[in-house]
Amino acid sequence: MRQWIEGLGPLEIKDEKHSNISSLVKLDPNLDWIEQDTSRLGSTLKVIIESERFDKHYYVGLKPGVGNPIFRNEDIYRNMEYTDEGLKLLSLFRYWCIIEYFFPYRYLMDQDWDTILLEFIPKIIGVNDELSYKLVLLELIGKIQDTHANIWQNDAILDSYWGKHTPPIVVRFIEGKFVVTKVLDKLSGTDALTVGDVITQVNGKDIMALMEEKIKYCPASNRPTQIRDVAKKLLRTNQKIIDVNVEGKGELRLHCVNISDLDLQNKNLASHKLLNSNIGYIYPGSLKKDEIHEIMDKFLQTEGLIIDLRCYPSDFIVFSLSQYLLSKPTAFVKFTTGNLRKPGQFLFTKPLKVGKINNNAYVGKVIIIVDETTQSQAEYTAMALRASPQATIIGSTTAGADGNVSEIFLPGNIRTMISGIGVYYPDGRETQRVGIIPDKEIKPTIKSIANDKDELLEYAIDLIEREYPGR
């Protein structure tokens, strides 16, 4: 290896006078293993550490204006053989190196990344079919604990593993139980189910045991988000019928539908409405482009404003809505981006501001509702709106995955992603894995679900009305 490196030609040592950026460093590469190497190879690698680098590379770049990495020119080996140990190891090492040198949150993992490499070498060599290979990759991807990281593509093999059918219901994890929150179609069997029912077994297996078996294949930044995702999969099957046990009702046989036939989005919800005559309500998941200006013209004189971020915004309102809520520009976020001149290093940018000089800024109470479905752009939006002095965030911890994403392709044409830049509050507090921490934690209860009540929305309305007791 030393002869190969030295055969590539002489290296130019970088000029340290032009690289004094220590005050901006959030994360440095882990190169202790080289520093401790006293061999001739170690000496050669130390020269490489100190050598000059440039910003243009064949395999990686940084997106202009944003800074998240762009990985390119890697062969995807679309028709790989799953018995090929070389390609399986290439997949592992490609992913490991990308995380080691281009993932801004590698220091936040629960498990040391070096030990994960050692753990997965025998695992990935030991699989010999497509499904097993993809499940090992899902488990590996889950180790970085980033909700943006998964296998993101239509995949017949994984679809078949989870099951292509499901009963037409929605299940959520509430108060430590899996609870029916929606019945989308009254098919035979589901007509015996009601919202608020608790499912305890699936095809004779305890649902909690089933969750623990499957959850390692549901990558996410934190436990609530993992459970959010696994809840969507626990009732999936390749059969047309599934047996479930329901508290108080015993065993029910439910008919299933093709999962692609279900509409699980809330796109039909109104983007805004007036509550109790003087409280504005905004649901960003249904916004039309630039509709926020029309909405705020209506709501500017209301006593309170509720922004329901239990959704993914359909329009980018970070700056457009903030200009109504703030009377002056206010810092709300700063980022870390990678450094191609020193791979593995991440540097802070200057804080970014929202708002503008506005003598007619909104003066009513602002309530922002979040939960585990609040992810990525929705979390970024919550950070920005929280800069309003009138703002209070209620709900529960969000998905903990913020920042622009970067695509990665692995052998077998596997498409995955990572959060490509670090996102922090101006004072340096974390958002990754932590999520947006509410000022007041409120979670739905089984009783409220059964009674078709939205406790978070009711609390938000009550909070605003308490600010105006003379109403």
Tell me, what CATH number does 220's domain have?
2.30.42.10
For the cut 90, the answer to whether the pLDDT of residue 19 exceeds it is: no
Do 279 and 211 lie in one domain? The reply is no
Do 216 and 310 lie in one domain? The reply is no
pLDDT band of residue 18 (cuts 50, 70, 90) is low
Helices (H), 256-316: 291-299
Do 321 and 445 lie in one domain? The reply is yes
Ramachandran area for residue 18 (φ above 0: left; ψ -120 to 50: alpha; else beta): alpha
For the cut 80, the answer to whether the pLDDT of residue 366 exceeds it is: yes
Q: Which tokens in the block code for residue 100?
A: 């080691």
How far the first Cα of the chain sits from its last, in Å, is: 78
pLDDT band of residue 22 (cuts 50, 70, 90) is confident
**Is 456 part of any domain?**
yes
For the cut 80, the answer to whether the pLDDT of residue 221 exceeds it is: yes
Cβ contact 332:354 at 8 Å: yes
Cβ contact 295:272 at 8 Å: yes
What backbone phi and psi angles, to 5 degrees, belong to 469? -65, -15
Beta-bridge partners for 415? 409
Give the closest residue to 405 by CA, choosing from 165, 169, 174, 149.
Answer: 149
Give the closest residue to 399 by CA, choosing from 320, 309, 269, 460.
Answer: 309
Do 289 and 345 lie in one domain? The reply is yes
Do 227 and 254 lie in one domain? The reply is yes
Do 394 and 444 lie in one domain? The reply is yes
**Is 27 part of any domain?**
no
Ramachandran area for residue 452 (φ above 0: left; ψ -120 to 50: alpha; else beta): left
**Is 144 part of any domain?**
no
**Is 364 part of any domain?**
yes
Do 364 and 437 lie in one domain? The reply is yes
Final residue of a structural domain among 236, 261, 286: 261
Q: What is the pLDDT of residue 470?
A: 45
What backbone phi and psi angles, to 5 degrees, belong to 194? -130, 155
For the cut 90, the answer to whether the pLDDT of residue 105 exceeds it is: yes
Q: What is the pLDDT of residue 36?
A: 87
Higher confidence at residue 265 or residue 125? 125
**Is 376 part of any domain?**
yes
Do 333 and 257 lie in one domain? The reply is no
235-249, 253-267, 287-301: range with lowest mean pLDDT: 253-267
Q: How far apart are CA 283 and CA 265, in angstroms?
A: 13
Final residue of a structural domain among 261, 296, 331: 261
Q: What is the pLDDT of residue 54?
A: 85
Cβ contact 323:332 at 8 Å: no
Reported as half-sphere exposure (CB side, CA atoms, 13 A), residue 42 has a value of 9
Q: How far apart are CA 465 and CA 303, in angstroms?
A: 8
Q: Provide the domain limits for residue 332.
A: 272-402+422-467
What CATH number is associated with residue 292? Answer: 3.90.226.10
How many domains does one find in the chain? Answer: 2
Note the pLDDT tens digit of each residue in 43-97.
899 988 888 888 899 999 999 999 999 999 999 999 999 999 999 999 999 999 9
Q: What is the pLDDT of residue 153?
A: 93
Give the Å distances, CA to CA, from 238 to 13, 162, 206, 233, 264.
60, 8, 19, 12, 19
Q: How far apart are CA 277 and CA 77, in angstroms?
A: 60
Q: What is the pLDDT of residue 159?
A: 95
Do 190 and 243 lie in one domain? The reply is yes
Do 200 and 280 lie in one domain? The reply is no
SS3 173: strand
**Is 398 part of any domain?**
yes
Q: Which tokens in the block code for residue 365?
A: 């109470």
Give the Å distances, CA to CA, from 192 to 177, 201, 236, 253.
19, 16, 19, 10
Do 434 and 309 lie in one domain? The reply is yes
**Is 355 part of any domain?**
yes
**Is 334 part of any domain?**
yes
Do 246 and 339 lie in one domain? The reply is no
Final residue of a structural domain among 213, 240, 261: 261
DSSP line for 204-261: TEEHHHHHHHHGGGS--SSHHHHHHHHHTTTT-BSSSEEEEEETTTEEEEEE-EEGGG
